[in-house]
């Protein structure tokens, strides 16, 4: 009995940690797809950039971990804005195939670029001493880094929900997702809104990539290797939703961990079965609107 | 006019041979990108270092040209590159190859085209030299290094073991070798898991091992950052605190990854062919050359020494034949090649199997001058590949 409880506890804990990383990275993708109707297959590039920034800052500049995380989020957010202004904006409302070609091309360029700058090897994340090892909570102990990951993720999710549900900026975002033309006609500057949302989404992806560098290893192929995870989260969660990807990430994170733990010989099989089942049941995802 | 022409012709023909520069072309296939890029880089640095240190020892007029190709960790690409090197670039020798499936894919070509392949990084695929009479392996085999580990674990009085290996040919070899000696000595395997190839998260697997409560866990992952990742997972899950011992081949604790592991691996025992902590004059010379070339921060590992020895073998052939050899002459030279003084100790090629005979060291992680090191605590001298003795050719 104790063994089963411990197994369930482990799956829930590690699944939750993975889900947080998936959510932080994917939520931006969901919003840009839902709001601008833009298929951004290069979204993983921003997460990868976050991972590279955090590992380089820590190893080469000796920046403390929390500052390096902040630096990763801000750098990626700032770098994403010119990309949106100069490249993506021209393709809004355009042919989807053009968007796919543009962004998959960017993803390939990121592979070559990262290999050129950082070399082909994985960049290991070295958590600071206070996050290595085990945090003992009395009744049982938890890996410190993953506990930190879950706490950070929970805080960010709450902040994001509050800002979307309670602030004026959030109201504008929701309006633009619901009905773009109506939002424009009541005077919302959707072009600037897109830019801000894109920057926010990319910054979160950068932060997710930095925090999750331990789970999704930082290497040049990152954007393409993990694309399938991000797309599954968005598809299962529903386009344009803030809540949907969260539950989708939980579902995928826990299923992935559970299948590795219980039936490792099946690998990623169960994630795909789950995705198939959810999409057959609700083709627009859990929280997608018809 | 015609007379001048004749004089020139005669003059050229009578030139002493060494003045006509001769170049031996060697094709080197390696995985500079992909999931084994790190071991590939370590091995390459060892080959390059030998080349640089010994290029001037070549007989005058003789040159070696190394044509490097990236197989992107993909056997099909590796095979295509080997084909191009043989047919278009007309290489006389092939070498390198870190990924065993690439070696398996290239093997039939070496037999067909009669171009010898000196496997200088790949260790898995224990039967590879049997796939072609033109393959010689200078690294080690996973059987060679994992086989003694099963005996060693049984000698500690441990009765139950859990094997967890990466799901590709190297992991399968390691698992089979350990299981063979451990169960032959009366031990029992209570669980056997295989990790996906590019697996970033080992925690669920380590939890499985912990919950199964074996006395010892036998672990293999490809050397590199995956080694640090699983060592960290072992620490976070508290595997050793739960009283589970760890036995592993050297790939779990590559020398260059030790500084990234903190104090976690202190006391861990592995079996292997080379450690930078090895106390041998040839090793000290190797390390000094390494430091001159790559600086203080880069640390070599067993792949680097394999690359070094592989290049040494090729140099020895070219020096002794002055660059003129047929494939069969080269193979007969390689099959009887030996170096009593490699950085890893005495090594020689077994003419029967074309695999290497060498010492296997049992190493324990200790602190030396404030840094972790794989300190050699016991030597099993001149081990032959056990798989070939268990499975004689039919």
pLDDT reported for residue A132: 77
Contact residues, chain B, for A120 at CB < 8 Å: 32-34, 37, 41
What CA–CA distance (Å, rounded) separates A23 from B386? 49
The three-state (H, E, C) secondary structure of B13-47, written as one string: HCCCHHHCCEEEEEEEEECCCCCCHHHHHHHHHHH
Tell me the whole-structure pTM to 2 decimals.
Answer: 0.81
Contact residues, chain B, for A215 at CB < 8 Å: 200-201
Q: A7 and chain B: CB distance < 8 Å anywhere?
A: yes
pLDDT reported for residue B296: 86
Dihedral class, residue B295 (left if φ above 0, else alpha if ψ from -120 to 50, else beta): left
Nearest beta carbon to residue A261 from set B41, B207, B225? B207
Could you tell me which chain B residue has the CA closest to the CA of A257?
A: B204
Query: If you ran DSSP here, which 8-state letter would residue A218 be given?
Result: B
Q: Please determine, for residue B35, whether its predicted confidence score (pLDDT) is greater than 80.
A: no
What CA–CA distance (Å, rounded) separates A19 from A258? 12
Could you tell me which chain B residue has the CA closest to the CA of A144?
A: B236
Residues of chain A with pLDDT under 50: none
Q: Where residue B61 falls among pLDDT bands split at 50, 70, 90?
A: confident
Class of domain A2-120+144-281: mainly alpha
Dihedral of CA B222/A9/A213/B33: which sign? positive
What is the overall mean pLDDT for chain B?
91
Asked whether the beta carbons of A248 and A206 are under 8 A apart, the reply is: no
Contact residues, chain A, for B266 at CB < 8 Å: none
Interface test mutation site (partner B, options A4, A121, A123, max chain B beta carbons within 10 A): A121
Distance between B205 CA and the closest CA of chain A, angstroms: 6
What CA–CA distance (Å, rounded) separates A20 from A252? 11
Give chain B's length.
Answer: 394
What CA–CA distance (Å, rounded) separates A115 from B268? 34
Helix (H) or strand (E) holding B318: helix B302-321
What CA–CA distance (Å, rounded) separates B175 from A193? 56
Distance between A106 CA and the closest CA of chain B, angstroms: 19
What CA–CA distance (Å, rounded) separates B312 from B309? 5
Name residues whose C-beta falls within 8 Å of residue A4's C-beta, 6 or more positions apart in sequence: none
Tokens read off for B302: 């067993």
Q: Please determine, for residue B90, whether its predicted confidence score (pLDDT) is greater than 90.
A: yes
Query: If you ran DSSP here, which 8-state letter would residue B61 be given?
Result: T
Size of interface A-B (CB pairs under 8 A): 79
Q: Provide DSSP, B63-117.
A: EEEEEEEE-TT-HHHHHHHHHHHHHTS--SEEEE--SHHHHHHHHHHHHHHT--E
Helix (H) or strand (E) holding B182: helix B169-184
Distance between A274 CA and the closest CA of chain B, angstroms: 20
Q: Please determine, for residue B136, whether its predicted confidence score (pLDDT) is greater than 70.
A: yes
pLDDT reported for residue B13: 58
Contact residues, chain A, for B32 at CB < 8 Å: 120
Distance between B35 CA and the closest CA of chain A, angstroms: 8
pLDDT reported for residue B250: 95
Angstrom distances, CA of residue B155 to CA of A72, A144, B64, B268:
51, 36, 49, 16
For chain B, domain boundaries: 13-140+280-354, 143-272+360-390
> Which residues pair with residue A19 across a beta bridge?
none
CA B139 to chain centre: 4
CB-CB under 8 Å, A264 with B205: yes
Interface test mutation site (partner A, options B32, B232, B257, B303, max chain A beta carbons within 10 A): B232
Interface test mutation site (partner B, options A122, A129, A132, A221, max chain B beta carbons within 10 A): A122
CA B237 to chain centre: 31
Provide, rounded to the nearest whole percent, the portion of chain B with pLDDT above 90: 76
CB-CB under 8 Å, B211 with A14: no
Nearest beta carbon to residue A122 from set B196, B225, B237? B225
CB-CB under 8 Å, B203 with A120: no
For chain A, domain boundaries: 2-120+144-281
Helix (H) or strand (E) holding B242: none
Q: Please determine, for residue B18, whether its predicted confidence score (pLDDT) is greater than 50.
A: no
- Segment B359-377, tens digit of pLDDT: 999 999 999 988 999 999 9
Could you tell me which chain A residue has the CA closest to the CA of B38?
A: A121
pLDDT reported for residue A261: 84
What CA–CA distance (Å, rounded) separates B307 from B46? 5
Tokens read off for A48: 């990868």
Q: A134 and chain B: CB distance < 8 Å anywhere?
A: yes
Class of domain B143-272+360-390: alpha beta
Of the two residues B259 and B280, the one the predictor is more confident about is B280
- Segment B171-210, tens digit of pLDDT: 999 999 999 999 999 999 999 999 887 666 788 899 899 9
- The fold adopted by the segment(s) B13-140+280-354 is Rossmann fold (3.40.50)
B143-272+360-390 and B13-140+280-354 share a CATH fold = yes
Asked whether the beta carbons of A41 and A103 are under 8 A apart, the reply is: yes
CA B125 to chain centre: 12
Distance between A121 CA and the closest CA of chain B, angstroms: 6
A179-188, B154-163, B344-353: range with lowest mean pLDDT: A179-188
What CA–CA distance (Å, rounded) separates B72 from B239? 35
pLDDT reported for residue B11: 60
What CA–CA distance (Å, rounded) separates A150 from B165? 29
Instruction: Produce one character per residue of A249-282: b if its CB has 16 or more CB atoms within 10 Å, e if not.
Output: bbbbbbbbbbbbbeebeebeebbeebbeebeeee
């Amino acid at each position: 009995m104790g063994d089963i409880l411990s197994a369930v506890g482990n799956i829930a804990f590690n699944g939750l940690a993975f889900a947080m990383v998936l959510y932080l990275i994917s939520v931006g993708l969901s919003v840009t797809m839902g709001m601008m109707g833009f298929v951004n297959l290069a979204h993983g590039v921003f997460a990868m950039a976050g991972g590279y920034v955090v590992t380089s800052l820590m190893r080469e500049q000796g920046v403390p971990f929390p500052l390096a995380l902040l630096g990763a989020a801000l750098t990626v957010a700032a770098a994403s804005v010119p990309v949106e202004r100069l490249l993506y904006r021209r393709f809004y409302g355009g042919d989807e195939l053009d968007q796919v070609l543009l962004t998959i091309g960017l993803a390939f360029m990121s592979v070559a670029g990262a290999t050129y700058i950082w070399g082909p090897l994985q960049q290991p994340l070295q958590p600071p001493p206070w996050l290595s090892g085990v945090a003992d909570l009395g009744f049982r102990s938890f890996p410190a880094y993953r506990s930190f990951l879950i706490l950070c993720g929970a805080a960010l999710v709450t902040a994001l929900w509050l800002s979307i549900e309670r602030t004026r900026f959030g109201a504008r975002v929701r309006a633009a997702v619901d009905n773009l033309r109506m939002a424009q006609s009541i005077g919302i500057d959707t072009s600037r809104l897109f830019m801000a949302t894109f920057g926010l989404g990319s910054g979160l992806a950068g932060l997710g990539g930095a925090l999750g560098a331990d789970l999704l290893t930082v290497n040049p192929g990152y954007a393409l290797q993990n694309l399938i995870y991000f797309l599954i989260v968005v598809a299962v969660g529903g386009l344009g939703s803030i809540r949907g990807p969260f539950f989708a990430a939980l579902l995928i994170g826990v299923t992935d961990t559970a299948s590795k733990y219980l039936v490792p010989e099946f690998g990623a099989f169960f994630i795909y079965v789950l995705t198939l089942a959810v999409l057959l049941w609700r083709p627009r995802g859990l929280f997608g609107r018809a | 006019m015609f007379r001048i022409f004749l004089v020139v012709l005669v003059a050229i023909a009578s030139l002493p041979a060494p003045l006509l520069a001769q170049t031996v072309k060697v094709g080197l296939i390696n995985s500079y990108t992909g999931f084994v890029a790190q071991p590939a880089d370590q091995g390459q640095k060892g080959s390059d270092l030998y080349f640089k240190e010994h290029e001037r020892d070549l007989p005058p007029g003789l040159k070696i040209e190394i044509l490097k190709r990236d197989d992107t960790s993909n056997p099909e690409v590796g095979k295509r590159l080997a084909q191009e090197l043989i047919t278009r670039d007309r290489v006389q020798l092939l070498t390198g190859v870190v990924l065993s499936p690439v070696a398996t894919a290239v093997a039939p070509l070496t037999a067909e085209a009669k171009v010898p392949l000196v496997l200088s990084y790949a260790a898995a695929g224990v039967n590879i030299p049997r796939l072609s009479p033109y393959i010689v392996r200078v690294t080690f085999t996973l059987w060679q290094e994992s086989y003694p580990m099963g005996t060693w674990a049984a000698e500690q009085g441990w009765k139950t073991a859990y094997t967890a290996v990466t799901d590709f040919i190297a992991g399968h070899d390691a698992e089979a070798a350990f299981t063979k000696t451990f169960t032959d000595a009366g031990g029992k395997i209570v669980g056997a898991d295989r990790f996906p190839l590019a697996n970033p998260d080992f925690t669920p697997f380590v939890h499985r091992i912990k919950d199964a409560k074996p006395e010892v866990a036998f672990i293999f992952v490809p050397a590199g950052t995956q080694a640090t990742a699983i060592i960290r997972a072992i620490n976070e899950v508290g595997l050793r605190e739960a009283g589970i011992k760890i036995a592993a081949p050297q790939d779990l604790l590559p020398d260059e990854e030790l500084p990234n592991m903190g104090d976690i691996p202190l006391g861990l025992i592995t079996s292997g062919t080379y450690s930078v902590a090895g106390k041998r004059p040839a090793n000290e010379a190797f390390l000094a050359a390494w430091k001159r070339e790559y600086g203080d921060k880069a640390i070599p590992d067993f792949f680097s020494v394999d690359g070094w020895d592989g290049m040494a073998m090729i140099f020895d052939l070219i020096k002794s034949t002055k660059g003129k050899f047929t494939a069969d002459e080269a193979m007969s030279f390689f099959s009887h090649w030996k170096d009593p003084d490699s950085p890893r100790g005495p090594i020689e090629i077994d003419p029967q199997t074309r695999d290497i005979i060498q010492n296997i060291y049992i190493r324990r992680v200790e602190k030396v001058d404030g840094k972790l090191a794989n300190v050699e605590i016991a030597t099993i001298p001149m081990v032959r590949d056990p798989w070939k003795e268990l499975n004689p050719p039919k």
